[in-house]
Amino acid sequence: MFNLRILNHPILDFPKQEKVKFTLDGKEMEGVAGEPIAAALYASGVKILSHSQKQHRPRGIFCAIGNCSSCLMTVDGVPNVRVCVEPLRAGMAVEIQEGKGKVI
């Protein structure tokens, strides 16, 4: 498992934060409560968040600020969640979304 967390930074202070557990397609993962789900995934080396509707192209973060729709995933059964701004909570079930996701 990758760890891409920055621990020491020459300008910023990153205090150690408590981790919470969540799942990605049923697999147990860890992240900081309150950080965007996408940040928790990228920190663990998971960069593929969905596959596009027609050509099943892998998609990940592009804008990281909620503008572009590149990061849509299904969270706790709700599709099209912008995980680059959605805060992580303990126990969340996150799924890699295929296309537009299922509403019903």
Partner 1 sequence: MMKKEILVIGAGPAGLMAAIHAAETGAQVLLVERAEGLGGQLIKQTHKFFGSKAEYAGDRGIDIAAKLIDWSKKLSNIMIWTKATVLGIYPDGVVTISHEGKFTLVKPEKIIVATGAAEKTMAFPNNDLPGIYGAGAAQTLMNVHSVLPGKRMLMVGAGNIGVIVAYQLMQAGVKVVGVVEAAPQIGGYRVHAAKLQRNGVPIYTSHSIKAAHGTEVLEGVTICKLDEKWQPIEGSERYIAIDGLCLSVGLTPLTELLWQAGCKMEFINELGGYVPLRDANMMTTNSNIFIAGDVAGVEEASAAMIEGKLAGLYVAAMLGHQKDWFLQDFQLAKQQLSALRSGPASAKVCVGLSKAILEEVV
Partner 2 sequence: MNALPSEERLAKGPVAVFECLQQIPCNPCAEACPRKAITVEHMNDCPSLNEALCNGCGVCMSKCPGLSIFVVDATYEQNKGLVKIPYEFFPLPKENQMVDALNRSGECVGLAEVVRVQVSPNKTNIIWLALPKQMIMEVRAIRLREEEHHG
Enumerate binding residues for partner 1 (CB under 8 A). 4-7, 9-12, 14, 35-36, 39, 42-43, 47-49, 52, 57-68, 70, 84-85, 87
Look at the chain and count its residues: 104
Is 10 near partner 2 (CB under 8 A)? yes
Report the nearest approach of partner 2 to the CB of residue 5 (Å). 13
Q: Which of 36, 35, 20, 28 is nearest to 1 (CA)?
A: 28
Instruction: Say how many CA atoms lie within 13 Å of 8 toward its Cβ.
Output: 0
Report the nearest approach of partner 1 to the CB of residue 32 (Å). 8
Exactly one of 1, 3, 9, 54 binds partner 2 (CB under 8 A); that residue is 9
Written as six digits, the tokens of 61 are: 């973060």
Distance CA 61, CA 64 (A): 6
Report the nearest approach of partner 2 to the CB of residue 87 (Å). 29
Q: Decide: residue 58, CB within 10 A, 0-12 exposed, 13-18 middle, 19+ buried.
A: exposed
Report the nearest approach of partner 2 to the CB of residue 12 (Å). 9
Exactly one of 3, 8, 16, 55 binds partner 2 (CB under 8 A); that residue is 8
Rule CB under 8 A: which residues touch partner 2?
8-11
